[in-house]
Amino acid sequence: DTAVSQTPKYLVTQMGNDKSIKCEQNLGHDTMYWYKQDSKKFLKIMFSYNNKELIINETVPNRFSPKSPDKAHLNLHINSLELGDSAVYFCASSQGQEQFFGPGTRLTVL
Amino acid sequence: EDQVTQSPEALRLQEGESSSLNCSYTVSGLRGLFWYRQDPGKGPEFLFTLYSAGEEKEKERLKATLTKKESFLHITAPKPEDSATYLCAVHTSGTYKYIFGTGTRLKVLA
């Protein structure tokens, strides 16, 4: 059974488009996260939700909007995609401090 | 400013050649320090959590240690399957954020 899953795994799109990435966890965790990993493999937190409530909102452009319909799901919607948004986006969840990561979504903006 | 620095950036070892990876941190308060392993094209996989100076954790050929300023991941008699990027992260008590280092890319040659 997949603990943290993300869809799609790959996303190729044109500049200016709007896209969404979905994340689901079946671990029963209360907290979920979105991370961005750039080409140099640096992993940076973007958002964190605890029981559907936003608790961490890093300095991320307003074009990025997370949505948590329930505590098992955290989706990421990105408006007006830019070239610099190209990266791998990871979803994670935790109950204690240890985080469990999804397989990642590689976003390529052309 | 909270910061995590890992060294070396890359490391090549012969099979059986033991070595250590370093993670130096500067944070306002430490809730926990984590080690993850990341294989190409996959999400980080949790290895260890360390909470206080002097603490040690072991798993197979890996041993993690913690001081007040740094953590080491010791790899004893590594095998080719230990090849991966090893990430260090801290969970800060001030902002409750997770801050990742840039990782050490380990290659173990047969």
Residue A1 has pLDDT above 70, yes or no: no
Whether chain B has a CB inside 8 Å of the CB on A59: the answer is no
Whether chain A has a CB inside 8 Å of the CB on B85: the answer is yes
β-sheet bridge partners, residue A14:
none
| CA distance linking residue B71 with residue B64, whole number of Å | 7
Q: How many Cβ atoms are within 10 Å of B9's Cβ, its own excluded?
A: 11
Residue of A nearest to B101 (CA): A42
Q: Who's near B60: CB < 8 A, 6+ residues apart?
A: none
Per CB-CB distance under 8 Å, the chain B contacts of A40 are: 102
Whether chain B has a CB inside 8 Å of the CB on A60: the answer is no
Residue of A nearest to B90 (CA): A97
Closest CA to A88 of A97, A101, A100: A101
Say what the pLDDT of residue A89 is.
97
**pLDDT digits 0-9 by tens, B45-82:** 999 999 999 999 999 999 999 999 999 999 999 999 99
Extended strands (E) in chain B: 3-7, 10-14, 19-26, 30-38, 45-50, 56-59, 62-66, 70-75, 84-92, 98-100, 104-109
Say what the pLDDT of residue A29 is.
94
B91 → closest Cβ in A4, A58, A97: A97
Say what the pLDDT of residue B29 is.
87
Residue of A nearest to B30 (CA): A97
Whether chain A has a CB inside 8 Å of the CB on B37: the answer is no
pLDDT band at residue A58 using 50, 70 and 90 as cut-offs = confident
